[in-house]
Structure 1
């Protein structure tokens, strides 16, 4: 039975999405909210005859639902920094300097990646004004500079620019991901364009928050140093550090990808597994000290929330800690039990009221859908196999949990990651117990004061880590362990959700409504897929991909494609961008040609000219006037020729990822002067022309 609060959650999410995508003006929301509030007041305080009351009850319910929609809209608008008058994007000038405070930082190979909260703008005239807004900063390392920590105050001598959407067809949109975190600007800084400042006087609560941030950073640094002293293997050390802190920066990206491909990436995120182990351990230790039950619960919850703050307050960690709090506090303090599904829905409402942008966070979505699947479907799946063998029963219980979690996250994982781990139920059978042991041993190692015992615990950690990493790598090496390059649209994802939910409901209750829902979802999904497949027979596209140091052009006609590659790509036979586009556009035949000549190339396709200007080659611009609609592709820093551009008059000038920022700026200025359309893939992503 689904809780009634689920309708309120749906209304809250609808309001957040309305504001986030600008689907409704603020004046309309104010009007709807006013009508709903007035109706609720009248219906509550004025006595209505029973006959009319029954008829008006559905309208009253709709008004309450609309009030929650408006609440979601207002909460999202309140947290949207772009609506603030002093947002950095509204008052920024190209010559401005600014001061910001570091919120989080991560060390890269040649830069420090920091999320800065802007506080002050310093104009060229010397005038200073306050501002708000987050900026993603890439600070080039300097000999005198250390990694900025949370709470550090920095002076930035360069104005930030808007995030660039450098995306290719079917690839993740990193700028869109950052924008959902309220980060709309970025800046790349040399070592002389930033410096540390002494923190000035701040508010009481800001000072306390800064001190706590520094304390937790000190703990993380101490954990990193101790793990480095006892764990000599960098892969095991990085995995242990990620299990404790949620920070994967110490791990090899290839290892992280192997966990993602085998369906075990969730063990690297601070989630219910970690929170449950920590809470259970605290309760066990406090029970040995004979502390009263209520005090034991409060202390364990306090330790749990401190760990959530220490690990960075990831959505999955906040969800787990908040669910435990909502279940245990009423039960132990008020003697009123709360069901797990009610706690799940209420925790989602509370977290979205505090962080409405989390509705677009992939971790938030996967965490809640996985737990919802476990709560709804695990009891049914667990009863499907009845046995007296304890080992088989335990293994089946873990498999049932994995399958139940995958039921609701399957459409979402295919939509976002375009793959499906076939052996997820087997890999989790190995990874979950081993990672739990590894987490407990790592925590013991970090708090162990005696080096002699720490040495033997480190040996156990290394042994367990080798078994876990070896198992994951073995499963990852199997080509059939996952299905890749699966692309579904948003409507197809909704149809898949409807089909899976209907199937599970039919298996559990055997009702005609559930069967009809499953069949409707199945038919809707395949009709949508067939329509897209039929459209692929008549498609005509020209694509300029964004790949650093590589120029890749592609012409698609029907289910055939021709690609032209020029650059320094070492593995030219395995281009990820092409394999993705083949699945996305249903391409059955792919012809790839590699540029090895020393002249300017002119391609004519579908009565359209495509001229590739390569700055490494001697240009032989024999085309004085375009006979067909013309497109120019600028590669490898080719220089603009204003006179020739006036004669050719191209429809669009495209600069791909092989050009420097200086070259792109020159071409942009020339195109603006000649009133020509200009597209830089480094700013707007891949250029796609539909004919």
Structure 2
């Protein structure tokens, strides 16, 4: 039995050749992502592997038979090298035409092109701009690169459109990570989008050229999106129902209500309001049903394939081409070509691996995209576990069988996506099954209704009634999901799963699956080993948290926020009003990451603007210093300058003796520059939170 199960696994592996490519390709990309290597090393290693494979053919037959595994190993390493080179090549900073290498000491002129419609934020408009050229040495030099562009609401940005070109005389700034413990690394997120710098523009900083340089296809897609949005708002309204309708149909999330998003997140069905593979599967099935009346003929089948592919890719581009949508589009493209043009049906596992390989070759940064990971893991889980779960229960009635099928799909997808979800989101929705059973059918009905609404929108009367019906259906779905999300025990929060624990969970799932599904006994031992390893990692992390001791000055604009952490307890020092603001979530995330809760610490003492912790003293200066000098300087370890105090470093040094000066982000940029210049002249050690991130002092 064990031999048969091993043979089954080997046969499945051989029938999906792209599986043997995607594994080393992903390994090479991840290696380059976290431990960057020089391209010369990859080329040398790849050349050695090619030479070794060629030389292997000339070895004696006996040696080739004994070491038959060697060529496969060399090819594995070769593909790993290709993955690393792909990621290195994808980084525009390694390109000779990158705009960052074209600037001079003077502030240059940049020619920018708006790459997407500006989005409104509370204080500004935000968009991505392509850097087309830089004016240097009296001429325009073509360059590559993208910027995160902000324009104030009083700077005419409300009239900016996709394709507009701007001439800008302002030096871009590097996007910085705030450095708060447990915070989302927005800098790395933008790097993976090929955006490395940002630019804040005022009216006098730019000039808009009269001609629009947008691509015609993209202009057409934007017009189609605008048609959808305007008609949905016209017939459904401007409330939360319209925002949900926009998200369901075309993935437009700007008008989504925050409470609605929180409800869907708490119930584990946020995939419903994000354009995913489910939407493309519905579209693909609908297209096949609409085209089934056409006769079977080679040229007609080619026409079918062209129609299906045009609609699929048009919808994918219309919705923003997220990772999950691209995955589905590539998969259905392969299936369509095989079915209607080549008349072949390949292994679904091979198609899945082939689509991932193509997308990673196009954009290797997708390997670190949560949507990309969850999308492929969900499909893989359904392929592997749906049938075994479905066969656990036999239902006599059709409605019961249909219900059990939906439950089986949800369970299969949840098995494969739970470890990654815990790693990224640190929570588990207990009621994901009833929420899925309610939201998926309703959302499917709503999506089809919206498509019909857009077709009949020019006729008015029927569209009004259909719009009202859809509004009530969306209201019903939102209300039911909100009610499920508020039930007791709906969500388990603060689940911390490290990268090592996530990998161990997947090894555990793989081992148990091999043991239960194909009777592969080593899978059981693998699962038991991973369980023990997981517990050891967990206990180790708990012991580290119990022994931690640190002082943290958070990177919070306009406010002072300090945490003193010892073991599992934390005490706060700073502006209490910060807890009433949205930025308080960053502090809560940090405490969750550190596994601490508010409690008394014996070594913590606070006297006004002075605090002492574990033998270290911190003085907070947020106002003007006294006019008279003290008879003796006060000794402290750290001084925090916050809330823009009108002081000079010379004056501070007259009052205090200190080791390090900490400059908070609540100070104005010009004052921080002035203080830094004074510190450098006086050779005083300083730490700028705005540039270096949150100040974290380890005291143990």
TM more than 0.5: yes
Shift of 1:222: 1.6
Shift of 1:421: 1.3
**Greater shift after overlay, 270-279 or 189-198?**
189-198
Indicate if the aligned counterparts of 1:544 and 1:686 stay in contact, CA closer than 8 A. yes
Shift of 1:579: 3.6
Evaluate the alpha carbon distance shift between residue 586 and residue 313 of structure 1 in structure 2; reply closer, same or farther with a 3 A threshold: closer
**Greater shift after overlay, 340-349 or 394-403?**
394-403
SS, match of residue 505 in structure 2? helix
Q: Residues 583-602 of structure 1: matches in 2 within 5 Å?
A: 583-591=592-600, 601-602=609-610
* Separation in 2, partners of 1:649, 1:12: 56
Per-residue deviation, residues 602-622 of structure 1 (Å, max 9, x unmatched): 212222111111138979985
- Residue 574 of structure 2: which of 548, 565, 568 is its match? 565
SS, match of residue 569 in structure 1? helix
- Other-structure match for 2:6: none
Shift of 1:340: 1.5
- Other-structure match for 2:206: 194
SS, match of residue 52 in structure 1? helix
The root-mean-square deviation of aligned C-alpha atoms, in Å, is: 2.7
Shift of 1:512: 2.8
Evaluate the alpha carbon distance shift between residue 511 and residue 60 of structure 1 in structure 2; reply closer, same or farther with a 3 A threshold: closer
* Separation in 1, partners of 2:97, 2:165: 19
Q: Residues 169-188 of structure 1: matches in 2 within 5 Å?
A: 169-188=181-200
- Other-structure match for 1:19: 32
Instruction: Find out whether 1:51 has 2:62 as its counterpart.
Output: yes
* Separation in 2, partners of 1:673, 1:574: 35
Shift of 1:350: 0.5
Evaluate the alpha carbon distance shift between residue 198 and residue 400 of structure 1 in structure 2; reply closer, same or farther with a 3 A threshold: same
Instruction: Find out whether 1:99 has 2:105 as its counterpart.
Output: no
- Residue 681 of structure 1: which of 689, 692, 700 is its match? 689
Instruction: Find out whether 1:151 has 2:158 as its counterpart.
Output: no
Evaluate the alpha carbon distance shift between residue 402 and residue 49 of structure 1 in structure 2; reply closer, same or farther with a 3 A threshold: same
- Other-structure match for 1:160: 172
Instruction: Find out whether 1:232 has 2:237 as its counterpart.
Output: yes
- Other-structure match for 1:272: 277
- Other-structure match for 1:553: 562
- Other-structure match for 1:526: 535
* Separation in 1, partners of 2:503, 2:181: 21
Using structure 1 for the length normalisation, give the TM-score.
0.91
- Other-structure match for 2:336: 328
* Separation in 1, partners of 2:408, 2:359: 28
Instruction: Find out whether 1:283 has 2:253 as its counterpart.
Output: no
Indicate if the aligned counterparts of 1:600 and 1:613 stay in contact, CA closer than 8 A. no
* Separation in 2, partners of 1:621, 1:495: 61
Instruction: Find out whether 1:117 has 2:130 as its counterpart.
Output: yes
Per-residue deviation, residues 455-477 of structure 1 (Å, max 9, x unmatched): 12212211210111111211222
Indicate if the aligned counterparts of 1:633 and 1:653 stay in contact, CA closer than 8 A. yes
Indicate if the aligned counterparts of 2:53 and 2:71 stay in contact, CA closer than 8 A. yes
**Is there any run of 5+ residues in structure 2 with no aligned partner, and where?**
1-11
Aligned residue pairs, count? 676
**Greater shift after overlay, 273-282 or 654-663?**
654-663
* Separation in 2, partners of 1:573, 1:101: 33
**Greater shift after overlay, 34-43 or 260-269?**
34-43
SS, match of residue 563 in structure 2? strand
- Residue 139 of structure 1: which of 148, 151, 156 is its match? 151
- Other-structure match for 1:501: 510
- Other-structure match for 2:44: 31
Shift of 1:592: 10
* Separation in 1, partners of 2:74, 2:41: 15
Shift of 1:547: 2.5
Indicate if the aligned counterparts of 1:413 and 1:419 stay in contact, CA closer than 8 A. yes
* Separation in 2, partners of 1:620, 1:50: 94
* Separation in 2, partners of 1:514, 1:53: 31
Evaluate the alpha carbon distance shift between residue 485 and residue 623 of structure 1 in structure 2; reply closer, same or farther with a 3 A threshold: farther
* Separation in 2, partners of 1:196, 1:294: 45
* Separation in 1, partners of 2:581, 2:630: 30
* Separation in 2, partners of 1:153, 1:475: 48
Instruction: Find out whether 1:639 has 2:639 as its counterpart.
Output: no
Evaluate the alpha carbon distance shift between residue 255 and residue 674 of structure 1 in structure 2; reply closer, same or farther with a 3 A threshold: farther
- Residue 542 of structure 1: which of 551, 565, 587 is its match? 551
Evaluate the alpha carbon distance shift between residue 402 and residue 666 of structure 1 in structure 2; reply closer, same or farther with a 3 A threshold: farther
Evaluate the alpha carbon distance shift between residue 656 and residue 567 of structure 1 in structure 2; reply closer, same or farther with a 3 A threshold: farther
**Greater shift after overlay, 536-545 or 607-616?**
607-616
**Greater shift after overlay, 238-247 or 661-670?**
661-670
* Separation in 1, partners of 2:352, 2:640: 52
- Other-structure match for 2:449: 441
Shift of 1:574: 11
SS, match of residue 162 in structure 2? coil
Indicate if the aligned counterparts of 1:536 and 1:585 stay in contact, CA closer than 8 A. yes
Per-residue deviation, residues 646-675 of structure 1 (Å, max 9, x unmatched): 464543332334323233323332333333
Shift of 1:427: 0.8
- Other-structure match for 1:400: 408
Evaluate the alpha carbon distance shift between residue 435 and residue 680 of structure 1 in structure 2; reply closer, same or farther with a 3 A threshold: farther
Indicate if the aligned counterparts of 2:649 and 2:675 stay in contact, CA closer than 8 A. no
* Separation in 1, partners of 2:632, 2:412: 65
Evaluate the alpha carbon distance shift between residue 540 and residue 360 of structure 1 in structure 2; reply closer, same or farther with a 3 A threshold: same
Using structure 2 for the length normalisation, give the TM-score.
0.90
- Other-structure match for 1:382: 390
Indicate if the aligned counterparts of 1:151 and 1:213 stay in contact, CA closer than 8 A. no
SS, match of residue 261 in structure 2? helix
Indicate if the aligned counterparts of 1:101 and 1:151 stay in contact, CA closer than 8 A. yes
Indicate if the aligned counterparts of 2:428 and 2:492 stay in contact, CA closer than 8 A. yes
Evaluate the alpha carbon distance shift between residue 682 and residue 252 of structure 1 in structure 2; reply closer, same or farther with a 3 A threshold: farther
Indicate if the aligned counterparts of 1:602 and 1:611 stay in contact, CA closer than 8 A. yes
Shift of 1:82: 0.7
Instruction: Find out whether 1:425 has 2:433 as its counterpart.
Output: yes
Indicate if the aligned counterparts of 1:499 and 1:522 stay in contact, CA closer than 8 A. yes
Shift of 1:424: 1.1
* Separation in 2, partners of 1:453, 1:387: 40
Evaluate the alpha carbon distance shift between residue 564 and residue 149 of structure 1 in structure 2; reply closer, same or farther with a 3 A threshold: same
Indicate if the aligned counterparts of 2:569 and 2:601 stay in contact, CA closer than 8 A. no
Indicate if the aligned counterparts of 1:279 and 1:301 stay in contact, CA closer than 8 A. no
- Other-structure match for 1:450: 459
Per-residue deviation, residues 172-205 of structure 1 (Å, max 9, x unmatched): 11122111111110111123323321448xxxxx
**Greater shift after overlay, 367-376 or 187-196?**
187-196
Indicate if the aligned counterparts of 1:414 and 1:420 stay in contact, CA closer than 8 A. yes
SS, match of residue 163 in structure 2? coil
- Other-structure match for 1:203: none
Indicate if the aligned counterparts of 1:549 and 1:568 stay in contact, CA closer than 8 A. no
Evaluate the alpha carbon distance shift between residue 483 and residue 680 of structure 1 in structure 2; reply closer, same or farther with a 3 A threshold: farther
Per-residue deviation, residues 631-654 of structure 1 (Å, max 9, x unmatched): 122221123432245464543332
**Is there any run of 5+ residues in structure 1 with no aligned partner, and where?**
201-206
Per-residue deviation, residues 371-397 of structure 1 (Å, max 9, x unmatched): 111111111111111111222221221
Indicate if the aligned counterparts of 1:270 and 1:317 stay in contact, CA closer than 8 A. yes
SS, match of residue 159 in structure 1? coil
- Other-structure match for 1:341: 349
Indicate if the aligned counterparts of 2:123 and 2:153 stay in contact, CA closer than 8 A. yes
Instruction: Find out whether 1:316 has 2:324 as its counterpart.
Output: yes
Evaluate the alpha carbon distance shift between residue 627 and residue 548 of structure 1 in structure 2; reply closer, same or farther with a 3 A threshold: closer
Evaluate the alpha carbon distance shift between residue 685 and residue 260 of structure 1 in structure 2; reply closer, same or farther with a 3 A threshold: farther
**Greater shift after overlay, 62-71 or 17-26?**
17-26
* Separation in 1, partners of 2:393, 2:100: 59
**Greater shift after overlay, 492-501 or 570-579?**
570-579
